[in-house]
């Protein structure tokens, strides 16, 4: 029997309205409503088209999907999604991303069901930040700068580089994924109800420096705005929250003492080209370097305006020097987990794809951002595992060099 909820889950995750899907299928909107509510079952021709649209297998629609079987109810709150965006949250878009996170969270649960984690640094840090913010009487700007300083210290960042930025954030317990979010949204983040933090990065071509700012910005939301109901913010409140995350990102990426020392060697503070060596050192954009220098009072407001005008004049607001050279950091944590549970005999990846999830590899690519070719080595040979094992990730060797 066709299960309508499976279709509803897929449709919402892909951001399609019933009308949009009906147009793709060549049926009425009422017909799609009937499929989803189990009033009628689609003909095999329609099922084949659904299979093609959503990159799943036909049998996906005839047994409860992995989401229905394993999702933790109410674990993903639409209201808690923090967008790094030029526009405020659009309800349909937010619902689609919430459904996407439900699938992702189910995927992570599936992979890590028999994996023990060491104590997560990100949760310890978040709790420390909450305690500090609840007891501090300092102004908000000072608080944010201190939280950024604390975050670098607790997450084991070096004082003079951001080379391992994404690795250290993933290592702390944050799950980071790439996704085609759209041109209006750079990234978003949230905490699930069971205390799992996610950062989703847009995969539209961006420079390494801009991506680093996106990551730091979302880390700021995770630490400063825990469980904030973002969809209830008005435009003014949304702008304030975004400015706080921007302030955190600048302070986090460019630690005060080291950056002030670096700026002593900049003699032409209004010339963006004078900052190129600093961009290479910190892997942050020229725009962020100027913003941080102004924020610290190293350059005056007038000089910063001239600096920004020069960025515009040189075309650097669209593309900066080194953007084509600096390597883009890519999420690696979930790939490491897949590799580990496969090698340890905990999960047969072929069985996962074909029998448990009942999807095509292209579905997992859309879900996780992982290159489809990554899965080839696991699907080439039929795996035959013995008894299941429990592994402890705290004893699994990992380093940025092995990523």
Pairing of strands 391-392, 115-116: parallel
Query: Has residue 17 been placed in a domain?
Result: yes
Q: Is residue 56 very low, low, confident or very high in pLDDT (cuts 50, 70, 90)?
A: very high
Average pLDDT of the chain is 90
Tokens of 76: 């993903």
Could you tell me if residue 136 is inside a domain? no
Same domain, 340 and 324: no
Confidence of residue 68 (pLDDT cuts 50, 70, 90): confident
* Six-digit token string for 87: 């526009």
What residues does 337 pair with on adjacent strands?
A: none
In this structure, the answer to whether residues 365 and 302 fall within a common structural domain is: no
Looking at the domain assignment, is residue 208 inside a domain?
no
Q: With bands split at pLDDT 50, 70 and 90, how would you rate the model's confidence at 95? A: confident
Q: Say if 187 falls within a structural domain.
A: no
What confidence category does residue 351 fall into, taking pLDDT thresholds of 50, 70 and 90? very high
Please tell me the pTM assigned to this model: 0.90
My answer on whether 311 and 369 are in the same domain is: no
Q: CA 403 to CA 399: how far, in whole Å?
A: 7
Largest CA distance in the chain: 73
Given its phi and psi angles, is residue 339 left (phi above 0), alpha (psi -120 to 50 degrees) or beta?
alpha
Helices 121-135/140-154 angle, 10° precision: 160
254, 289 contact by CB (below 8 A): yes
- Alpha-carbon distance 203 to 154, whole Å? 28
- Assess if residue 56 is contained within a domain: yes
- Band the pLDDT of 396: cuts 50, 70, 90: very low
Residue 117's pLDDT is: 73
User: Among 311, 329, 347, where does a domain finish?
Assistant: 329
More confident residue, 219 or 186: 219
Q: Which of 329, 364, 381 is the last residue of a domain?
A: 329
Residue 242 confidence (pLDDT): 94
pLDDT of residue 282: 98
- Least confident window among 121-130, 220-229, 392-401: 392-401
Q: Are 325 and 337 part of one and the same domain?
A: no
Spell out the residues 6+ positions from residue 310 whose beta carbon is closer than 8 angstroms to its own: 270, 271, 272, 316
Pick the last residue of a domain from 329, 354, 387.
329
pLDDT at residue number 86: 52
**d(C-alpha 216, C-alpha 249), whole Å:** 5
Do 253 and 284 form a contact (C-beta atoms < 8 A)?
yes
Asked if the model's pLDDT at residue 394 lies above 60, the reply is: no
User: What confidence score (pLDDT) does residue 14 get?
Assistant: 94
Query: Do both 388 and 337 map to the same domain?
Result: yes
State how many domains the chain has. Answer: 3
Q: What is the mean pLDDT of residues 371-388?
A: 70
Q: Check whether 152 has a pLDDT greater than 50.
A: yes
Q: Same structural domain for residues 340 and 388?
A: yes
Residue with the bigger pLDDT between 83 and 288: it is 288
- Its domain, for residue 311, covers 254-329
Share of the chain above pLDDT 70, in %: 91
Give CA–CA dist 46/50, Å, rounded. Answer: 6
- pLDDT band at 358; cut points 50, 70, 90: very high
List, for residues 205-244, the tens digit of each pLDDT value: 679 999 999 999 999 999 999 989 888 888 899 899 999 9
User: Is the domain of 378 the same as that of 320?
Assistant: no
Q: Which residues of 54-75 are buried (b: 16+ CB within 10 A; e: fewer)?
A: bbbbeebbeeebbbeeebeeeb
Q: What is the DSSP letter of 186?
A: E
| Sign of the torsion angle spanned by Cα atoms 192, 217, 90, 363 | negative
pLDDT at residue number 105: 94
Residue 266 lies in a domain: yes
């Amino acid at each position: 029997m066709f299960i309508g909820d499976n279709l509803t889950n897929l449709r919402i995750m892909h951001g399609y309205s019933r009308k949009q899907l009906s147009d793709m299928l060549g049926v009425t909107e009422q017909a799609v409503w009937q499929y989803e509510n189990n009033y009628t079952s689609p003909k095999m021709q329609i099922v084949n088209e659904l299979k093609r649209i959503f990159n799943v297998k036909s049998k996906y629609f005839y047994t409860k999907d992995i989401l229905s079987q394993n999702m933790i109810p109410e674990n993903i709150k639409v209201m808690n999604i923090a967008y790094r965006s030029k526009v405020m949250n659009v309800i349909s878009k937010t619902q689609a991303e919430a459904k996407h996170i439900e699938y992702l969270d189910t995927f992570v649960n599936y992979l890590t069901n028999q994996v023990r984690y060491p104590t997560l640094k990100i949760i310890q840090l978040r709790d420390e930040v909450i305690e500090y913010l609840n007891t501090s009487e300092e102004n908000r700007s000072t608080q944010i700068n201190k939280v950024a300083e604390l975050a670098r210290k607790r997450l084991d960042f070096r004082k003079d580089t951001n080379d391992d930025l994404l690795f250290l954030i993933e290592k702390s317990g944050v799950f980071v994924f790439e996704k085609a979010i759209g041109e209006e949204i750079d990234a978003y983040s949230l905490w699930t109800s069971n205390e799992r933090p996610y950062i989703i990065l847009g995969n539209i071509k961006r420079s390494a420096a801009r991506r680093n700012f996106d990551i730091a910005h979302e880390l700021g939301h995770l630490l400063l705005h825990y469980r904030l109901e973002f969809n209830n913010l008005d435009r003014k409140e949304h702008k304030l929250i975004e400015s706080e995350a921007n302030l955190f990102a600048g302070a986090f990426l460019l630690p005060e003492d080291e950056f002030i020392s670096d700026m002593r060697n900049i003699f032409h503070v209004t010339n963006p080209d004078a900052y190129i060596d600093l961009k290479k050192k910190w892997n942050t954009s020229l725009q962020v370097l100027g913003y941080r220098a102004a924020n610290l009072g190293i350059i005056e407001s007038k000089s910063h305006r001239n600096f920004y005008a020069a960025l515009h004049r040189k075309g650097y607001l669209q593309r900066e020097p080194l953007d084509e050279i600096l390597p883009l950091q890519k999420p690696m944590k979930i790939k490491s987990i897949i590799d580990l549970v496969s090698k340890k005999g905990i999960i047969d990846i072929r069985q996962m794809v074909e029998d448990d999830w009942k999807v095509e590899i292209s579905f997992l690519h859309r879900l996780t951002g992982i290159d489809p070719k990554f899965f080839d080595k696991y699907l080439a040979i039929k795996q035959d595992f013995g008894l299941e094992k429990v592994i402890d990730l705290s004893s699994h060797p990992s380093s940025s060099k092995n990523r």
